[in-house]
Each structure stands twice: as structure tokens, then as C-alpha cells.
Amino acid sequence: MSERKEVFDKPPLDIDQLVELLKKRGLNIDDVTIVKYYLQFIGYYRLSAYFLSFQDGSNSNSRHQFQQNTTFTQILDLYIFDRKLRLLVLDAIERIEVAIKASISNTMSQQSNAHWFMDNNNFQTKFDHQKFIERLKNDIEQNKREEFISHYRNKYNSPDLPPSWMVFEILSFGTVSIVFKNLELQSKKKIAKIFDLDEKIISSWLHSISYFRNLCAHHCRIWDRTFTIKPKKANAYKEYLAQNNKLYAQLAIIQILMQKITIDSHWSDNLKTLIQEYSSIPIQDMGFPEDWHNYPLWKNNK
């Protein structure tokens, strides 16, 4: 028997009512004007995700009550930290995405031909290759105004699809992750060797990073998130992936890949600077060890 569901009947509150609700729940508000501004342009519901760390949190009637002396500034700082962290993550993921696309496209094109992705022999037998090609055609159609797509269509009538290096420019990270996962084994091993990692590890990490990228792109809270899609624990990096459902593990695999694909990157330094700037935010909620910045992974890029 299914659980009986309730009817949602909560009335929407205006900005003044929301301010009074926060006061009633014990939040210290020094400047009402500032609070109203952020409620107007960020929204109560989005900010409420950052209330949780400062509230009772139990299942009692007081679960929404703020801990003593909690200020709106503390909540706003946490929100801004999370936003800056997402932007920093996206900066690294962009470079990882470009590197992965280039590595797959270059390897497979040189091994086979420029249109290797059209040959289902390059993929595992379980892969729905036809569905992939149909999705690819749809993606190309949606990007038909891209100069390189229109140039190919105007100049060539065969093959029907552009070469790999053009196709990979328009593929989403999620699709690239799926492509790698479903390549035949020897090809996966050859590509994984570029990154000095096992193909199963790369496949898992690409899936995790793709999911992480989507969270960041959709402005989701990441700072204390418990991740449902977790990176596999590579033996060489097991000390960084002990809690592979926490943010620290996600940042660690990004840094591992950044060390392999960039020269003189300062991404880890920027991460340290951000965490130092918001030193009041507990790093243990993100799975960070207390002395994380002293670990070799975070010292230098090369």
C-alpha cells in the first residue's frame, strides 16, 4: 500500500513576510534592506539550502530554528563561497573536457579513420550504436549554424556526418563519457594510457566529472553534497578517495587530471586561496582532511 500523500497548500510569502519568518526562527538581521535585496535577487528557496548548517536540523518542531547568534552574513558568505567554488570547478572541467575530447578523437582517428565513430566495430557489441548515430545527427542539426558544420555540409556530400574532430566539438561531456565507456577494450586502454590510468578508472572518473559539471552548470549546492555518482578508487590515489562520496574526492580527481593535461597550472593554488578566504566554513563537511594542503597532490602541478 502506497504512502498517503498530502496536498501542498503553503501560501507564497512576500519579501517582508519572509524577513519576519527568518526573524521568528531566530536569525540575527542587522540590515533589513540588505536581506530584502538578496531575497529579491537570489530567492528565499535557493538561500534556504544554506540555512541547514545553521539550524537545529532535528525532526522536532524546532528543526527550522537557527542556532544562537547566527547571522544573515554567515549564510550569505556560505552561498558566495559555494558559487565561487562552482566557478573554479567549471574552469578546470572545461580544460579536462577539451583534453578528453582531443585524446579520444586523435587516438581513434589515427587508429581507424576520420569517421571511426560511424563504424560499430569500434564499439562494444552491447552499445546501441544506431541510437548514438541518431543522437549525433540531432546534435549536428541543432548546431548547423556553426561555421565548421555549415562549411562541411556545403562542400561535401559524403560521408553524411563531419569528421571526428568536428563532431567532438559539439558533443556534450556526458555523451563523450558514454562514448569512451563503450569503446572496444583495446582502444580504451590506449586512450587511458595517455593519462597513466586504468581504463576502468578513467571511465568512472569521466562519469563522475560529467555529473559534477552538470551540478555546477545548474547552480546546485556542492559544498557539503553527498555525491551519488562516485569516482572509483584508484590504488595510486586511494588516500584522496577514501570518502569518494564527498566533494574532496571530486576535487582530487580533477586535480589529478589537471596535473596530467596542463603545464604550470595554478588551479590548486586558487582552490587553497578560496578556502583560506572563507576560513570560517568547516572543510570537514566537504570531506577535506585537516592538513589537506600539505598533501603532495596539492603542492605543485608538475
pLDDT number for residue 268:
96
Same domain, 155 and 241: yes
Split at pLDDT 50, 70, 90, the class of 299 is confident
The more confident residue out of 8 and 244 is: 244
Same domain, 170 and 60: no
Same domain, 49 and 194: no
Beta-carbon count within 10 A of 54 CB: 19
**DSSP secondary structure letter of residue 10:** P
Q: Which residue has the cell 578528453?
A: 100
SS3 196: coil
Domain contains 119: yes
Strand partners, 123: 183
Predicted confidence (pLDDT) at residue 253 exceeds the cutoff of 90: yes
Mean pLDDT, rounded, for 173-202: 97
Same domain, 102 and 59: no
pLDDT number for residue 3:
73
Domain contains 4: no
Mean pLDDT, rounded, for 20-44: 96
Domain boundary among 70, 92, 108: 70
pLDDT in tens, 80-92: 999 999 999 999 9
pLDDT in tens, 68-82: 999 999 999 999 999
Split at pLDDT 50, 70, 90, the class of 4 is confident
Q: List the single range of 15-24, 134-143, 210-219, 268-277 with lowest mean pLDDT.
A: 134-143
pLDDT number for residue 59:
65
**DSSP secondary structure letter of residue 281:** S
Same domain, 40 and 120: no
Predicted confidence (pLDDT) at residue 273 exceeds the cutoff of 80: yes
Domain contains 6: no
Split at pLDDT 50, 70, 90, the class of 300 is low
Report yes or no: 196 and 188 within 8 Å, Cβ to Cβ: no
Domain contains 159: yes
Same domain, 115 and 24: no
How far, in Å, CA of 139 to CA of 147, rounded?
Answer: 15
- How many domains does the structure of the chain reveal? 2
Nearest to 208 by CA among 263, 239, 252: 252
Q: Which residue has the cell 587553497?
A: 272
DSSP string covering 67-127:
PTT-BHHHHHHHHHHHHHHHHHHHHHHHHHHHHHHHHHHHHHHHHT-TTGGG-GGGB-TTS
Domain contains 275: yes
Same domain, 47 and 160: no
pLDDT, the chain, mean: 94
Nearest to 253 by CA among 213, 193, 219: 213
Q: Which residues contact 83 (CB under 8 A, 6 or more apart)?
A: 219
- Determine which helix (DSSP H) or strand (DSSP E) holds 17, and give its type and residue range: helix 15-24
Q: List the single range of 1-10, 45-54, 250-259 with lowest mean pLDDT.
A: 1-10
Domain contains 135: yes
Same domain, 137 and 258: yes
Predicted confidence (pLDDT) at residue 302 exceeds the cutoff of 60: no
Domain contains 242: yes
Domain contains 9: no
Same domain, 63 and 165: no
Same domain, 148 and 264: yes
Q: List the single range of 2-11, 14-23, 222-231 with lowest mean pLDDT.
A: 2-11
pLDDT number for residue 287:
96
Quote the domain boundaries for residue 50: 15-70
pLDDT number for residue 60:
66
How far, in Å, CA of 106 to CA of 237, rounded?
Answer: 27
Nearest to 292 by CA among 88, 276, 165, 301: 276
